[in-house]
Structure 1
Amino acid sequence: MGCGGSKAGGSGERADANSEFARKYNLDDKELGTGAFSRVILATSNEGTKVAVKCISKNGELKQEDIDSLHEEVAVLRSVDHPNIVKLYDFFDEKRYYYMAIELMEGGELFERIVKKTFYNEMDARGLVRILLDALAYLHHRGIVHRDLKPENLLLKSPFNDFDIKLADFGFAKKVEGKSLDTQCGTPGYVAPEILKGKKYGTAVDMWSCGVIVYILLGGYPPFHDDNHAVLYRKIKAADYAFDPQYWDQVSDDAKDLIKKMLVVDPDKRLTASQALRHPWFMVGDHELISRNLAKTLDTMKKFNARRKFKGKVKGIILANKLAKGDLF
């Protein structure tokens, strides 16, 4: 599902030698990722700091709405300072390219780290949920909605720390007052029902997506899934999901209650991030949650993650073919 955003083109070519960007950063040969319309390259600053640089080409493919959304993403990232939100160090608007120098996340995706664990319990899951909710409470208090919460956008700063998590990819993020947005935006399986229904929406859409992520962290699989998008969207609009006893018997009632209060069709009745942080689940003693072994969840999540990564690779191959044919640039 698309959205007017800064997912707009870049080839990652070298900057002009006398440009402001080139005077401050040196692009390496390592490509860190390729988006639908951008490339992310490893770079080193003059001070020796490793960063990720998003290179966005000005080759005529950018529409005005893409440019506007790019500047909105930059403005949002410049306005925030939170330990669990990725940092924007610099932004350069140059002759041939836009460059975004972003905090380098060397630990990879959160879900990739979880599935490598040999042991996983409900206290581990709660710690991750608390971090995500804290970041969302910070954003929402400032009138910022992320609009694309999903596992791919939860990254780890270091390969050695399981809890130094940062929320990334603010390409769809926007400042909002109340329910003033109406752009169709998000990722199938995580998108909120009010968006699918074409209603005006606000920060509550993030809380629905967060509820989906919490469900996966505790159950190991998504609450809404179907290869047919029409069927999938019908399930989402009706909040048609269940706690299958085979996977959920070992999960506490408090945790399930939190999910129920996040996956609420009416956004006015959905918990806010601040309210969710005060939910009784966060008051339960650590010893009780440590005893709730989520081994079955871990096994299920490994299968879910493998399918997720496979779909991502297929999309990557399709994108690479389009790049090779020059369809995107």
Structure 2
Amino acid sequence: MSEQQQQYWPIFTEKDEIKTFWNKKPINFVKQTISYQQLMKRISWKSNKPTEYEFLLSEEGVLFYKKNNKVKGYVQLNEDISLKLIDLKISNKKADAVKVIRIKRTKDIFLYIWNHDYQYTFQFLKYLCQFCFVQNLDELYTLQDVIGKGGFSKVYTLTPNIRLPNQPFNYAGKVYNKNELLSKKDLKKFYHFIRSECYILKRINFPYVLKLCEIIQLEELLILVTEYIKGGSLYQYLKERKRLSEIESTQILLKLALGLQQVHNLGYVHRDIKLENVLIDKDQLKLIDFGFAEKICRDRLVNGQGTAGYIAPEVFMKQPYQEVGDIFSLGVIFYSMLSGKAPFRSNTYDALLKLNKECQIEFSELRFPNVSQKTMYLLKAMLSKQPENRINLQDLLNQLTVCQILSPTNNMASTQSIVEGSVGISFNHLQSKNTLKSFYQNSQNSFTENHSQMSQQKPSKNLRDRRYKSQSLDKKGLLLKSSSFKPSLKNIYQIKIEQSDDNISITDLDQPIPYENLRFLQTSYQTLNCQKFI
């Protein structure tokens, strides 16, 4: 290995430039939230005499030790501090060799801690792994099957060799090989990419961003241990479904935007948002692969790499890549979900890059059937060619959270929640055929009554403007005739549905709502919330 290569492998090593292990300066211990504490024995690099102390770990990664209920010292843990389980011989007796945790800050400054019960030693190690890198694999995990491959890494399933209570049965391990990584021309760039990815994921604990559990640095391998998502990518999900509904697409977009907000708040941009970098499994959704993530630079373009078809147009103009660059890539995903097709398509890579650069995007109604005008406006704002005209993340979140279709904390909206949330009537009650018929007839009557009342009054200028704005125009600019079917739920809260033996039976309650009736209810819901019709 050349001298230059030695600078970039191992990726993680002890780099603290300190002369003592513990910080002795005063600290406000009361403000610390303790996540784990345990009585442990300690041997330091200065003394071989085992001494028992109480060790405490805060949620922010500060490790304290106390004696007689008084804080003696503390250290802020980070990715430049190593952990390793080793067998340490306490005395000359063979039986005295015990498993200890070595916490190492520099080549010469370290300490050993352990508990007489190995279960507590191992448990403490797992807590410490949240903040440091660890130099053990066999004591922690077993590598299983390959579940994915990247440009310079492979992803394996991992099973814990010692499973703690409430610990998952499986993890995913992104494995980098030393020889493959050192063969890269841009070794320095990849080194910083990996460091940035770990820095970001270690500091984000959010439902819609993949959780990095541990960093395992070995002599020949680097393994990033993450949570395991059983389902596939959003690309696979969309390929099976062809196209997603407006409701589901908007909800996925909101979750991704919330996850992206966490990244931007750290001062980083993702730079490789695409369908393949979103994992989805039932109600779970995770933004993954931060290999191209970098610190936000507003003065110049640091790196022009990205995935063709998702690259923000300003990158081709050598302009700085800022937060709105990620918004453009997010818009490509939103476009693909709503239409079932990518905005840029070609059989060759060069042609795809050219289309991406020109950024001529089709937004025709044929491409987006049953998509509201409000959503189309949002999509166009995300895919604006000029970054200064593109919607920013906060405004995007404001638009999405104001929308009544979903809320940021809910799971995927089910038909049941849609119906109950929009009309305020028990879903079980609606399962009766007669009740549903009554509900439908009343909704139509309410529209007829409201329409007749409105026809007697001269509409205001604002109402006329709104009506013309929402109706479609033909090629000559004339108003097209609106459909005669416009379900209205304005007075639905006032509907009184009588329950009687003739109206509802046990058999009726067990019957699901017919598909065509569900379609009516969903259309009514979208009408109220998306404001596609007036």
**TM-score, normalised with respect to structure 2:** 0.47
Paired with 2:284 and 2:214, the residues of 1 have a C-alpha distance of 22
Amino acid at match of 2:140: K
Amino acid at match of 2:327: M
Q: Is the 8 A contact 2:244 2:340 kept in 1?
A: no
Paired with 2:524 and 2:243, the residues of 1 have a C-alpha distance of 11
> In the alignment, which residue of structure 2 is the partner of 1:31?
146
Q: Is the 8 A contact 1:262 1:270 kept in 2?
A: yes
Is 2:280 the partner of 1:145?
no
How far 1:183 moved relative to its partner? 0.9
Amino acid at match of 1:171: G
Kindly provide the CA deviation profile for residues 37-84 of structure 1, in whole angstroms up to 9, marking residues without a partner as x.
211111112226311111111124252332232112111111211110
How far 1:257 moved relative to its partner? 0.4
**2:137 pairs with one of 17, 21, 25:** 21
Q: Is the 8 A contact 2:278 2:286 kept in 1?
A: yes
> In the alignment, which residue of structure 1 is the partner of 2:362?
242
> In the alignment, which residue of structure 1 is the partner of 2:66?
none
**1:182 pairs with one of 278, 302, 325:** 302
Counting only pairs closer than 5 Å after superposition, residues 1-329 of structure 1 correspond to structure 2 as 20-28=136-144, 30-45=145-160, 46-47=162-163, 49=168, 50-59=170-179, 60-62=182-184, 63-117=187-241, 120-156=244-280, 158=281, 161=282, 163-279=283-399, 282-285=402-405, 290-291=522-523
Q: Matched residue of 2:172: which SS?
A: strand
How far 1:119 moved relative to its partner? 9.3
Paired with 1:119 and 1:264, the residues of 2 have a C-alpha distance of 23
Q: Is the 8 A contact 2:278 2:288 kept in 1?
A: yes
> In the alignment, which residue of structure 1 is the partner of 2:515?
none
Paired with 1:250 and 1:218, the residues of 2 have a C-alpha distance of 9
Q: Is the 8 A contact 1:264 1:270 kept in 2?
A: yes
Amino acid at match of 1:112: Q
Paired with 1:186 and 1:279, the residues of 2 have a C-alpha distance of 27
Amino acid at match of 1:269: N
Paired with 1:216 and 1:66, the residues of 2 have a C-alpha distance of 30
Kindly provide the CA deviation profile for residues 250-289 of structure 1, in whole angstroms up to 9, marking residues without a partner as x.
2111111011111112212211121112227952556699
Amino acid at match of 1:239: C
How far 1:153 moved relative to its partner? 0.6
Q: Is the 8 A contact 1:121 1:291 kept in 2?
A: no
How far 1:177 moved relative to its partner? 4.3
**How many percent identity over aligned positions?**
27
How far 1:179 moved relative to its partner? 4.9
How far 1:126 moved relative to its partner? 1.3
> In the alignment, which residue of structure 2 is the partner of 1:307?
none
Q: Matched residue of 2:367: which SS?
A: helix
Query: Which structure shows the bigger proportion of residues in helix conformation?
Result: 1
Kindly provide the CA deviation profile for residues 113-136 of structure 1, in whole angstroms up to 9, marking residues without a partner as x.
345459953212111111111111
Amino acid at match of 2:382: M
The RMSD of aligned alpha carbons is 2.9
Q: Is the 8 A contact 2:297 2:321 kept in 1?
A: no
Q: Matched residue of 1:224: which SS?
A: coil
Q: 1:248 to 1:93 in 2, by over 3 A?
A: same
Kindly provide the CA deviation profile for residues 202-252 of structure 1, in whole angstroms up to 9, marking residues without a partner as x.
121110001111111111101122234444334333431112332224211
Paired with 2:348 and 2:220, the residues of 1 have a C-alpha distance of 41
How far 1:112 moved relative to its partner? 2.5
Q: Which has the higher contact order (CA 8 A, sep 6+)?
A: 1
Q: Matched residue of 1:166: which SS?
A: strand
Q: 1:182 to 1:256 in 2, by over 3 A?
A: same
Q: Is the 8 A contact 1:133 1:274 kept in 2?
A: no
Structure 1 gap ranges (5+): 1-7, 9-16, 294-329
Paired with 1:109 and 1:273, the residues of 2 have a C-alpha distance of 23
Kindly provide the CA deviation profile for residues 160-201 of structure 1, in whole angstroms up to 9, marking residues without a partner as x.
x2x310001111112224354431111111111111222222
Paired with 1:142 and 1:120, the residues of 2 have a C-alpha distance of 31
Paired with 2:250 and 2:336, the residues of 1 have a C-alpha distance of 12
Q: Is the 8 A contact 1:254 1:280 kept in 2?
A: no
Number of residue pairs aligned between Structure 1 and Structure 2: 274
Paired with 2:244 and 2:390, the residues of 1 have a C-alpha distance of 28
Q: Matched residue of 2:142: which SS?
A: strand
Structure 2 gap ranges (5+): 1-8, 10-84, 87-134, 406-417, 423-486, 488-520, 526-534
**TM-score, normalised with respect to structure 1:** 0.75
Q: Is the 8 A contact 2:209 2:287 kept in 1?
A: yes
